[in-house]
Amino acid sequence: MAMNISKAGALISGLEVLEVVCSDPAGLGVSEVARLSKLDKGNVHRILRSLEGRGYIEQDKKSKKYKASSHVLSLARSVLRGLDIIGIARPIMRELSFSSGESVHLAQRTRYGGVYVAQERQRGRITIETEIGASPIIHATATGKALLCYEDWQIVENLLMVPLVSFTETTITTVPQFKEELKLVREQGFAIDNQELTSDVRCAAAPIFDFTGAVIACVGMSGPSSRIDIERLSVMGQLVSDAANQITKKAGGHYPVMSSAPLQTT
């Protein structure tokens, strides 16, 4: 039993050191790691050597600082690929739908834009039904905007069906206008559809990010325009933004550092 406890202690110390090293992309020296992990410097040095030998960290020959290797990133990707984003999002979507009374949907980013994968609705109330398996119209839906707002512009432009189809009087119909719309989505943290696809429906959607800061999905809320005015639409935007933040954290993701940066053209 004592031997098992000893091994458990060594494992915990090793994980603490690895977590400390991974917390600083610029790298940390032995003394810094020891201070942050609150472990003996000699012990930390041995752990760092072991982790380096296993390929989890690497040492810069000039600065002598240690930082996480690509092997750690590969492991993280393997874990995250196995995450069930629908399972993670479902409880949050259900609570959001219950508290707001509106229809809440989840869409995942795909090579060709996105696809609706889940929905929560309130029985006995007029709500908007989303067709699971359908793809959002990129330029005319809050979902399409939320999924692509952080994408390089060249990729967005390749996905757009030009000329942009006008569905209602408020549909965005020019490429420059749509580009500005995506910048606005980045700045405010959510996208809106002000009767742009259907004249009697308003929607709001916010992006969900993975551990690299890339958009992998979005959560949206929609309802009839007779019940949702512009002021209510703005409130919905904040609600889906909060929900997206919760899902992002539960999925191990994070928001991009430059959240208001302009769309890249290259």
Per-position DSSP letters for 88-113, written without gaps between them: HHHHHHHHHHHHH-SEEEEEEEETTE
Q: What is the pLDDT of residues 42-56, one digit of tens each?
A: 998 999 998 888 888
Q: Which of 30, 48, 79 is the last residue of a domain?
A: 79
Max avg pLDDT among 17-21, 63-67, 115-119, 177-181? 177-181
The verdict on residue 19 lying in a domain is: yes
H or E element in which residue 86 lies: helix 85-100
DSSP code at position 28: B
CA 245, CA 59: separation in Å to the nearest integer? 34
Q: What is the pTM of this model?
A: 0.69
Average pLDDT over the chain, rounded to an integer: 86
The verdict on residue 9 lying in a domain is: yes
Q: Do 75 and 88 reside in the same domain of the chain?
A: no
Residue numbers of the domain that contains 227? 83-250
Q: Which of 79, 103, 129 is the last residue of a domain?
A: 79
Q: Is 104 exposed, middle or buried (0-12, 13-18, 19+ CB in 10 A)?
A: buried
End-to-end CA distance of the chain: 60
